[in-house]
Structure 1
Amino acid sequence: MAEYNDRARYGWLAAYFRVALISGVCVAMLLGSALAQALTWQEGLRGDAPERYTVVRGDTLWGISGRFLQHPWQWPEVWQVNPQIRNPHLIYPGDVVYLYDCNGRPCLGLERGQGTVRLSPEVRRIPTREAIEPIPLEVIRHFLRDHRIVDDPEALDELAYVVAGDDRRIISGAGDRIYARGEIERGPRYGIYRIGERYSDATTGELLGLELEGVGQARVQRAEEDIVVLEVLSATQEVRNNDIILPLESRELVREFVPRAPDGAVDGRILAAPGGVRFIGRLQVVALDRGRRDGLEAGHVLQVEQQGERVNDPRSGEILRLPGNEAGLIMVFRPYEKMSYGLVMRASRTLEVGDRVHNPRHGRGVAQR
């Protein structure tokens, strides 16, 4: 490995391949020219990036890339030029990524961990290894079990709702019978939701969406005319009259999230942190005031900028606003038409509602600055 400590020998190409090879841990994307990317990545390598790294349980692709890159969300953009590793999204605990001499140029080698094999007189067992996740997906799964957005709040009047509990109960729980009114097909499980936050654009006042908070799940037992009898299967809160009954959303998440900058310019704000959280930190979910109509897709990464302080000019006395400060990164995981949910992947300072979000300053896209 000593050959690679001499960066002068390889110049910018060595720096480029070092970043590209070590951080190549996700599905390929369509890329621009290798030269253009090399110039971009030359400044993206961390000064303390290791020569080798052994993957451990609990790692994520984002986290591993952060050991080598200044901007870890860019790992998919450098993977395409590294065909040496097959199935880059299948990286396992115990695997080692390293740099080696490949006919006078740096190449990537991947040492696959062997795992632990235990033998007995009767059975030979090879423990199943689970590939590491691109980001902490469990945080997202947990959130999506309890939250969803209705783009058109007026449509709520057409949805089924709870009219009563069994034995005239005002509140119900798991195992109880409830009665709902509205169109409900028999068979699939349904979610029970309560109307939550109304999200509006701070500038125009436009209603962006209505948040529904999940309180439980139910199954249809029978229907008589427009009254449907359901059994509450689970409940995180008490089920009340007027709660909404909706088919469960598809909660399947794509494991291979591809972090990337939006294709077009995006400039918005953090609307809220669901749950009424005041101070926002890493791995917390936030609601954003931009959605699919603004070009946002799952995987898009936005930079958070906090407003600069107001100061007095010592000569003129006028009040000046200092430039904003970069405060973190948010990755969109569930875009709706007018707004989105995102996960805070990095927070260099405490984030707040109202903080600006926009295209990353470092990365591809039309809105680079």
Structure 2
Amino acid sequence: MAVKQHAYRGALSALLLSATMLLSAGDATAWERLRSDAPERYQVVSGDTLWGIAGRYLYAPWQWPELWQQNPQIANPHLIYPGDVLLLSDCQGTPCLQLERGQRVVKLSPQMRTLPRREAIEPIPMDVARAFLRDHRVVDNASELKTLAYVVAGEDRRLISGAGDKLYVRGDVPSHGQVGIYRQTEPYQAMDGTPLGLELINVGIARPLGSNEDSSDEDSSDEDIAQLEVISSSQEVRINDIVLALEERELDREFMPRAPLNSVEGHIIAVPGGVRFIGRYQIVTLDIGTLEGLQAGHVLQVNQRGELINDPRTQELIQLPNSEAGVVMVFKPYDHVSYALVMQASRVLEVGDQVLSPVN
């Protein structure tokens, strides 16, 4: 009996030791992800973003939930305000942040409550993305273009029109509210040439004036003709420009930078505007979208292809391994393509660079 008890205690001790070692290894990994120069106290200032704040503490800002993982989920989560002080603490062996507001110290939750924009601390610098979405959108396939309304004529047979001018449009146009006038650009293609979608550029905004009151009962050819008045234009409106209901432009202010749940891999296939070399806070187009599981807020690592070199001994051509070059965050995914914002760039990024789920 004593032998059995001794064996049982020995097995229990070994189990506890193994659990302790695993816990210690996990905690050590969490501390390793913390920047060596992370401040013990940080006061939030106007203009801060959650990405920027997390970047002061973590080498990979998208891993921000690790600093909040010890915090209980509460019905009315606290929001980070300018003037609040963040305290770096040790929560049972794991690094965590606490919030000091006045005389109270409360634990943070990885959520946000919607507040007036002037007070809210946003996840990333959203102004760049908002401005971009005013002028760009994607149609998923070319056949869809044939079903969209289009400009057939300008007033007094004008070939180009501007603000204050009237247009004639054929197709299904909303009877009220504002509509966008768009022009097709080069189609998006995958690296192997597979078509992925068509980018449309906004050239103006118009409002419907109703159907043509002078239409004849004997002639039904103009039944699908609508008249619009151009309210504003950034370029001349031309014949055959596309007319669509304005796309929802307001971004979800509560999405948080995070890694995709599933493994994804793709490429940067374009830079709207034709820029060749890409840096921080520029917009890029990726050849993956919602069908691959991408959502707004997903963060992807950018890798650049290794150089081709000659082996100094054998003279054979060998390729060096790919190297990490930056981080992008998706803010507007479509079926096959996504618009993403470059958040970090240790090198100049280029079309053709690989994007994939970040390595934790």
**If the length of structure 1 is used for normalisation, what is the TM-score?**
0.80
Give 1:86 deviation, angstroms: 8.5
Question: 2-side partners of 1:264 and 1:104: how far apart?
Answer: 29
1:222 to 191, 198, 210: 210
**Partner residue in 1 for 2:191:** 202
What residue number does 1:26 align with? Answer: none
User: How has the CA–CA distance of structure 1 residues 37 and 174 changed in structure 2, closer, same or farther, with 3 Å as cutoff?
Assistant: farther
Structure 2 CA distance for aligned equivalents of residues 352 and 34 of structure 1: 41
Is residue 154 of structure 1 aligned with residue 152 of structure 2?
no
Q: Which runs of 5+ in 2 are unaligned?
A: 1-21, 104-115, 213-222
Q: Does 1:186 align with 2:175?
A: yes
Secondary structure in structure 1 of the residue aligned to 2:64: helix
Q: What CA deviation, in whole Å up to 9, does each residue of 1:67-102 have, x standing for no partner?
A: 110001111344232249996672121111124689
Query: Structure 1 residues 280 and 89 mapped into 2: Cα distance closer, same or farther (>3 Å)?
Result: farther
Alpha-carbon distance between aligned partners in 2 of 1:292 and 1:233, rounded to the nearest angstrom: 34
Over 3 Å counting, the alpha-carbon distance change for 1:305 and 1:102 in structure 2 is closer
Q: Please give the secondary structure, in 2, of the residue aligned with 1:139.
A: helix
SS class of match (2:302): strand
What is the Cα deviation at residue 109 of structure 1? 3.9
Relative to the length of structure 2, the TM-score reads 0.82
Q: Distance in 2 between matches of 1:128 and 1:158?
A: 38
Secondary structure of the structure 2 residue equivalent to 1:311: strand
Asked if residue 315 in structure 1 is aligned to residue 313 in structure 2, the reply is: yes
Q: Where do 1:1-369 residues align within 5 Å?
A: 38-83=27-72, 90-99=79-88, 108-112=97-101, 130-203=119-192, 205-224=193-212, 225-362=223-360
Distance 1:244-1:285 versus aligned 2 partners, 3 A rule: same
Q: Is the 2:67–2:97 contact (alpha carbons within 8 Å) kept by the matching residues of 1?
A: no
Looking at structure 2, the residues matched to 164 and 57 of structure 1 have their Cα atoms a distance apart, in angstroms, of 49
Q: Distance in 1 between matches of 2:248 and 2:119?
A: 23
The one-letter code matched in structure 2 to 1:220 is P
Q: 1:34 to 1:134 in 2, by over 3 A?
A: farther
Q: How far 1:256 moved relative to its partner?
A: 1.6
Shift of 1:38: 3.4
Q: 1:297 to 1:66 in 2, by over 3 A?
A: same
Q: What's the offset of the Cα at 1:105?
A: 9.8
C-alpha distance in 1, partners of 2:344/2:120?
Answer: 23
User: Aligned partners of 1:339, 1:105: CA distance in 2, in Å?
Assistant: 38
User: Displacement of 1:271 after TM fit?
Assistant: 0.5
Is residue 42–residue 85 contact of structure 2 (8 Å, CA) maintained in 1?
yes
Q: Is the 8 A contact 1:76 1:258 kept in 2?
A: no
Relative to structure 1, is the Cα distance of residues 331 and 106 closer, same or farther in structure 2, using a 3 angstrom cutoff? closer
1:13 is aligned to none
Q: In structure 2, what residue type is equivalent to 1:273?
A: V
Following superposition, the deviation at residue 248 of structure 1 comes to 0.9
Separation (CA, whole Å) in 2 of partners of 1:38 and 1:56: 30
Structure 1 pair 167–75 and aligned structure 2 pair: CA distance change class (3 A): same
Distance 1:36 1:219, change over 3 A: farther
Deviation at 1:135, TM superposition (A): 0.5
Question: Mind listing any 5+ residue stretches in structure 1 that lack a counterpart?
Answer: 1-32, 115-126, 363-369
Deviation at 1:188, TM superposition (A): 2.1
| Equivalent AA in structure 2 for residue 156 of structure 1 | L
Residue 209 of structure 1: how far off its partner (Å):
0.5
Determine the C-alpha separation between the residues in 1 that align with 2:288 and 2:90.
Answer: 46
> Is 154-163 or 90-99 further displaced after alignment?
90-99
| Deviation by residue 1:341-360 (Cα, 9 ceiling, x = unmatched) | 11111111110000011111
Query: Quick one: which amino acid aligns to residue 167 of structure 2?
Result: I
**Matched positions, count:** 317
2:348 partner amino acid? T
Change (3 A) 1:148 1:107: closer
CA distance in 2, matches of 1:212, 1:76: 36
Deviates more, 1:214-223 or 1:72-81: 72-81
Aligned CA distance change for structure 1 residues 102 and 227 (closer, same or farther; 3 Å): closer
Over the residues paired in the alignment, what is the CA RMSD in angstroms? 2.6
Distance in 1 (CA, whole Å) between partners of 2:29 and 2:90 is 23
**Aligned residue identity for 1:238:** E
SS across alignment from 1:158: coil
Shift of residue 155, structure 1, vs aligned partner: 1.4
